[in-house]
Amino acid sequence: MNGPLAANGVFGEQFGFIVAFFVGGLFGFFLERAGFGSAKKLTADFYGRDMAVLKVMFTAIVVAMVGVMYLGIFGRLDISLVTIPPTFLWPQIVGGLIFGVGFVMGGYCPGTAVVAAGSGRKDALWFLLGILVGIGVWAEGYPLYKEFYVSGSYGVYTLSQWLGLPSGVVAFAVILMALGAFWFATYVERLMAAKALRGKDQSA
């Protein structure tokens, strides 16, 4: 059977919601297993103590990227039917910067906060409440940044279109970059562990 199964009429809308629930279940399960139900673990990435966030994210991106390409090459997945998020460059950069500040301050991102709430974390409930209020506040200010919201619009715009390179070459570069990031992350972890050890020696 060729994917996406929903778009190819293999199952209907009702069954699609059951599928969505189970796919979400796997998502939450793996996030928890990665340790992402803990704000302490998540934010440790930003202090170089534990770079699991970077490692997990880049691994997931590489696996999904290769998986989609593989299925596409063998005709198992029609990539033209897969929703690629369109690019609105400026609001995505500004949104990302604010998001990063909120992430390190609040200790979670939306998906991990759901998993943390499911693990019993009370601070995650406060974070989730904050998200809902933040979305509401943004919507009230919408007329102020209506134009900014659609600025830098490139539609569906991929790295291979931007660079003018075949997607296989871009994927290879992404894999190399991920491997470099893994090496760097491990290096930083060791550096910070050694620093913490020295700090203990001095205080003793």
Partner 1 sequence: MSKTIATHEPKGTDIGLPHGEPKPYWNPYAAGVGLGLTLVLSFYLMGNGLGASGAFTRFVAFAEAMFAPRFVAGHPYWKTYLGSEPILKDWLVFEILGALVGGIVASLTAGRFKVESEHGPRVNAKQRAMLAFAGGLLVGFATRFARGCTSGQALTGGSLLSVGSWAFMMSVFAGGYAAAWFVRRQWQ
Least CB distance to partner 1 at residue 178 (A): 10
CA–CA separation, 92 and 74 (whole Å):
33
**Interface positions, 97-126, toward partner 1 (CB under 8 A):** 97-124, 126
Write the DSSP symbol of residue 3: B
Residue of 73, 138, 184, 193 interacting with partner 1 (CB under 8 A)? 138
Least CB distance to partner 1 at residue 27 (A): 5
175 touching partner 1, by CB under 8 A: no
Least CB distance to partner 1 at residue 172 (A): 12
CA–CA separation, 142 and 120 (whole Å):
34
**Interface positions, 44-63, toward partner 1 (CB under 8 A):** 44-47, 52, 54-63
Least CB distance to partner 1 at residue 147 (A): 12
179 touching partner 1, by CB under 8 A: no
Kindly give the interhelix angle for 110-118 and 13-33, rounded to the nearest 10 degrees: 80
Residue of 9, 12, 17, 164 interacting with partner 1 (CB under 8 A)? 17
171 touching partner 1, by CB under 8 A: yes
Q: CA torsion, points 96, 99, 100, 102, in degrees to nearest 10?
A: 170
Contact pattern for partner 1 over residues 76 through 95, marking x by CB under 8 A = xx---xxxxxxxxx-xxxxx
168 touching partner 1, by CB under 8 A: no
Q: CA torsion, points 14, 18, 24, 26, in degrees to nearest 10?
A: -150
CA–CA separation, 106 and 141 (whole Å):
22
Distance of CA 25 to the CA centre of its chain: 16
198 touching partner 1, by CB under 8 A: no
Per the CB < 8 A criterion, the answer to whether 58 and 173 are in contact is no
Least CB distance to partner 1 at residue 65 (A): 4
